[in-house]
Amino acid sequence: MLENLLFPEIKQTPDEIISKYPKRNSDLVVTRIAPSPTWFLHIWAVYSTLLDVIVAKKNAWVVFLRIEDTDQKREIEWAAEKFVDIFRMFWLNFDEGPVWENYADIGNYWPYTQSKREQIYKVFIKDLVARWLAYPCFLTEEEISETRAIQEASKVPTGIYKEYSPWRYASNDDIKKALEENREFVIRLKSSWEITKKIDVKDIIKWVVSTQENFLDIVICKKTWIPTYHFAHLIDDFLMWTTHVIRSDEWFASLPLHLELFNMMWWKAPQYAHYWPLVKIDWEGKRKLSKRKDLEADVEFYFREWYMVESIIDFLSNMINAWFEDWRKQNPYSSFLDFDFKLERVNTAGALVDIDKLNWVSSNTIKNMETEVLYNKLLTHLKKYDNDFFNIVSSFPSIYNLKIVNELKTKLRKFSEYKENTFFLYSDSKIPANDLLVNQKMKIEDFDTVKKWLELTLDLLTSRTQDFISIDEVKNTFIEYINKAEMKNGQVLWPVRCALSWEEFSLWALELVYILGLEKSIYRIKNTLNSLK
């Protein structure tokens, strides 16, 4: 028997394997996310997981994590564990999978990592060989290339199938001889579908699509005895009782193959929902977001750029469903899970990864967050990504830092801009350049005018005995004082702002007076006046 020649160590039957995986409640909807740990975590994986988890939690579905690591040549050590950590950062929690302490499995359908399921796959591959639905193929790479050249010359579809697959029709004696010669081989599916036929496939997002049947004898087991993704995920989806598969549109072309495999196994296929891939617009036009070309494809790009998780989630939610943006405006403090996400309403035009849009979303997230919550998140972020600046910021009193955060929150798009806009608030070592103090637009044409406004401000500040208790008190006091002097606000406050910040662009003068307090404000204005003598 050919199957015993190929798999002498496999004694179990498919039924024995199936009996170990308890059938779920028939009313239960089960979906999964299944990343491959072959590189960094793509932003589409978070996009897809967000979609899976949102829909699952809104409908009391089960959602599990499975690590699909059959591509061991490209696998990166510890990538799977890092993926789990990133999903946790996004509060994407799974009901099952390698998500327990120390990345241990939780759930009844373990193991949830494909490299630990090799023996299971071999049982089903052996069964296909026994039923003459799969066969060993000893074609070399050179022979496959020659076949492709012949097909291209004949203008027929390329690939290994029917008359272009000599080992499909080989006798047991020929196969046995090749095995005795220790020739390398793969196991191929023996497709029974036709190159000339089409099938109608149902998709939750795409509705009904007519597409070509699979006719290729694809590889289901590699030379290394590791099954391919196409075969492994099918076995796992059946044994784990997956009812819905939500995945990127790039997999839609493989759907006929997957349906044929389910048909060969006599199993009911899950329902499929294929969402459009993430795209970007550049000089090439609109194109698919690329792992190799685009920094924003890497989830950690967004952390390195200092965007908050909340901002990234809202950004992705906007991409998933266009109605989310209007909902967020009306519900600025609600959880994204409160939005009524539906698979049928997922973006069907290609979700655009637009950093300008992200900045807009992020600015709103920051603006709508409670100041103390925002400050704590800022400290956590600085401690992880800029420990030196964290040490500087945390050396100042919290009440001082909270004032800064409160005044900046309507102006920030991401945390990196906090550092850019506040370094002068954590140092007293500079004075403004003289040419910055003079401003023709403000009709401040010489240093005598600058001195006049700074001395006016110094008189006001030194006349007080205690700090301002609010930004409103600062504004009311200054405006009244400037009006009495019959001056214009802008003329007086421009040199004050420059004296307090040393920069051309910064928070406004009155905000700086409130943040710095009397002592520091007086000190900086005096230093500036001394520099003008």
Beta bridge partner(s), residue 134: 189
Beta bridge partner(s), residue 95: none
Q: Please check whether residue 262 is in contact with residue 128, taking contact to mean a CB–CB distance below 8 angstroms.
A: no
Distance CA 486, CA 453 (A): 12
pTM across the whole model: 0.85
Q: In the prediction, which pLDDT does 1 show? A: 81
Distance CA 298, CA 318 (A): 19
What is the residue whose two structure tokens read 């006016």? 456
The pLDDT tens digits for 140-196 are 999 999 999 999 999 999 999 999 999 999 999 999 999 999 999 999 999 999 999
**Pick from 229, 230, 135, 119: which is nearest to 187 by CA?**
135
Cα maximum dimension of the chain: 108
Q: Please check whether residue 259 is in contact with residue 251, taking contact to mean a CB–CB distance below 8 angstroms.
A: no
Q: In the prediction, which pLDDT does 514 show? A: 94
What is the residue whose two structure tokens read 């059959």? 70
Dihedral angle sign, alpha carbons of residues 496, 497, 502, 505:
negative
Beta bridge partner(s), residue 188: 135, 219
What is the residue whose two structure tokens read 């291209």? 152
Beta bridge partner(s), residue 429: none
Q: In the prediction, which pLDDT does 75 show? A: 72
What is the residue whose two structure tokens read 């006798």? 171
pLDDT tens track of the chain, all 533 residues? 889 999 999 999 999 999 999 999 888 899 999 998 887 788 988 988 888 888 887 778 899 999 999 877 777 778 899 999 999 999 988 999 999 999 999 999 999 999 999 999 999 999 999 999 999 999 999 999 999 999 999 999 999 999 999 999 999 999 999 999 999 999 999 999 999 999 999 998 888 999 999 999 999 999 988 899 999 999 999 999 999 998 888 899 999 999 999 999 999 999 999 988 888 888 877 888 888 888 898 999 999 899 999 999 999 998 888 888 999 999 998 888 888 887 777 766 778 899 999 999 999 999 999 999 999 999 999 999 999 999 999 999 999 999 999 999 999 999 999 988 898 899 876 666 667 777 777 677 778 888 888 898 999 999 988 999 999 999 999 988 888 877 778 778 888 988 898 887 788 899 999 999 999 999 999 988 888 77
Q: In the prediction, which pLDDT does 368 show? A: 93
Q: Which two tokens stand for residue 196?
A: 């000339």
Q: In the prediction, which pLDDT does 434 show? A: 66
Mean pLDDT value across the chain = 90
